[in-house]
Amino acid sequence: MGISARFIQFTDLHLCASPEARLKDVNTDASFSAVVAAALSAARPDALLLTGDLTQDGSAEAYERLAGRLIPHALPAWCIPGNHDQPDALRAGLAGPLFRHDRLADFGPWRLLFLNTHDGDRGGGRLGDTELAAVREVLAEPGPEHVLIVLHHHPVRIGSWLDDSAALDDADAFWDAVGESPRLRGALFGHVHQEVDTRRGAVRVLGTPSTCFQFVPATMEPGLDSRPPGWRWIELFDDGRIETGVSWLPEPARRETA
C-alpha cells in the first residue's frame, strides 16, 4: 500500500519576543532553528504540524519570527495553539497562504482533525462543547476513511506530574466522543516535552519532544531531562497504518550545571 502523506511535527517551540531569550537555560530560538535545519535537510514532508506552545509569551514578535523562519521552506503548516499561546496573536502572526488554521485537512484516505485545547492563562487544557462536537461529527459523517486527531494537550495519562497539574480536563469526554469509532487511527499531541508512543484500544497515542528542553519521562517528580531537542516524522499509509518516530539533535541544548 502506498503512502498517503508525510509530515514533520514541531512542538513546544516556546519562542520569545527576544531571540536572545533563554528558558530553562536553553536559547529556544537557536534550538528551534537547529531543529528545522536538521529535520528539513533530512526529509521533504508534504506539510508541517505545529502543535502548540509555539511561543512562550504570545508576542507578535515571536510569531512573526517563526513565520519568517518557515516561509523559505515553502511547506504548508497547520497550526494549533497551546496553553502558552495567544490564539489571536498566533493567527495574526502566522498569516499568509502557507499557514493553515482550518479544523480539517484531507490527504487521500486520511482526514486530520485539529482541536483547540487552549483554555485561558493556565497550564491545563480543555476541549469544551464545540471541539467535542467536532470529534463526534468527523467520526460520524461520511469522509476519508482514516482519521488522525491533532491537539496540544495529552488526552491520556502518561505517568507524569503533567497528569495532575497540566492535564486535559475533559479527556474522558474526549474518549466518550470517540466512542468505538474504527476510523480514528491516532491522536497526536505536544505539551509533554517527552516522547510518548502508546495505545488506547486501537488508537495510536503519540506525544512528541519539544524543540527546546525536555521533561524527565515516566516520573511524577517534575524535572528537566538531558535529552536534546527533538521532532517527530509521520507517514500515513493508504491502508490506515501509521509509521512514525522521533528524531533528536545530536547534542543537548541545555548547559548542564554542576
Min dist. Cβ of residue 39 to Fe ion (A): 20
Confirm or reject binding of residue 154 to Fe ion (CB under 5 A): no
Nearer to Fe ion, 82 or 228 (CB): 82
Confirm or reject binding of residue 191 to Fe ion (CB under 5 A): yes
Q: Is the dihedral of CA 18, 74, 13, 116 positive or negative?
A: positive
| Contact range with Fe ion by CB under 5 A, out of 46-54, 58-66, 155-163, 175-183 | 46-54
DSSP string, 165-216: HS-BTTHHHHHHHHTT-TTEEEEEE-SSSS-EEEEETTEEEEE---SS-EEP
Please give the Cα distance from 126 to 117 (Å, whole number): 5
Min dist. Cβ of residue 82 to Fe ion (A): 4
User: 175 and 169 in contact (C-beta within 8 Å)?
Assistant: no
Nearer to Fe ion, 82 or 240 (CB): 82
Please give the Cα distance from 122 to 83 (Å, whole number): 6
Confirm or reject binding of residue 254 to Fe ion (CB under 5 A): no
Number of residues lying near Fe ion (CB under 5 A) = 4
Confirm or reject binding of residue 82 to Fe ion (CB under 5 A): yes
Confirm or reject binding of residue 53 to Fe ion (CB under 5 A): yes
Please give the Cα distance from 99 to 89 (Å, whole number): 13
For 98, 109, 127, 132, 195, the CA distances from 177, given in Å and listed in that order, are 31, 22, 11, 6, 25
Confirm or reject binding of residue 214 to Fe ion (CB under 5 A): no
Q: On the CB side of 26, how many CA atoms lie within 13 Å of its CA?
A: 28
Nearer to Fe ion, 31 or 83 (CB): 83
| Contact range with Fe ion by CB under 5 A, out of 1-9, 78-86, 194-202, 209-217 | 78-86
Question: Nearest residue by C-beta to Fe ion?
Answer: 191
Confirm or reject binding of residue 117 to Fe ion (CB under 5 A): no
Nearer to Fe ion, 111 or 152 (CB): 152
Min dist. Cβ of residue 83 to Fe ion (A): 5
Place of cell 483547540: 116
Nearer to Fe ion, 207 or 240 (CB): 207
Return the bridge partners of 22, or none: 27
Q: What residues line the site for Fe ion (CB under 5 A)?
A: 53, 82-83, 191
